[in-house]
Amino acid sequence: MIPKIKKILFANDLSYNSRFAFAHAACLAHCYDARVTVLHVLEEISESADISLGSYFGETKWKLLKKDISQEAIDMLEKRVSRFCREVNEELGAHAFETDDIVVKRGKPVETILQEAKARTCDLIVMGTHGHGGFREAVMGSNSKRVIRQSKIPVLIVPLPG
């Protein structure tokens, strides 16, 4: 049985490698006549930083600042992700396609990627990897590795070329 790929979730971190990963998502979308949702996850501030900033600004003021900053950051990121998609689509020429949706969410990257893929009934997740390796990755594990381990659908990881 040949699997059908009709919905692709492209997890985008706006890194240099995202351009290469997006090209693969675009190629697959073109070949399979699939729709692509572009997702960018704005990572939550760490608990310790949240507590420190709360004590520095005062709880009430910090909550207001956080809310304003969050919405402003999401608005800016939505514009940046849209521009990113346009730029890469221009580079793709004949293989250009329309994205189904551009989503910017706050949260933990791995959990948010998996939740969005499930909620949108995606058939494939495409994402790049930085390939940092070494001690940091051995201890923490990369987001891409964790998505692979936890995903119920296929995941295409695109490494940096060269």
- pLDDT at 5 (0 to 100): 92
Output DSSP code: residue 42. Answer: E
Could you tell me the residue ranges of all domains in the chain? 7-44+78-159
Distance, CA of 100 to chain centre: 15
Axis-axis angle for helices 47-57, 59-92 (nearest 10) = 130
Question: 7-44+78-159 maps to which CATH number?
Answer: 3.40.50.620
Q: From first to last of its 162 residues, what are the pLDDT tens digits of the chain? A: 788 899 999 998 877 778 888 888 988 988 888 999 999 888 766 566 556 656 666 777 656 655 666 677 677 777 887 887 777 777 766 666 667 888 888 888 999 999 999 999 999 999 988 655 544 444 445 888 999 999 999 999 998 776
- pLDDT at 1 (0 to 100): 77
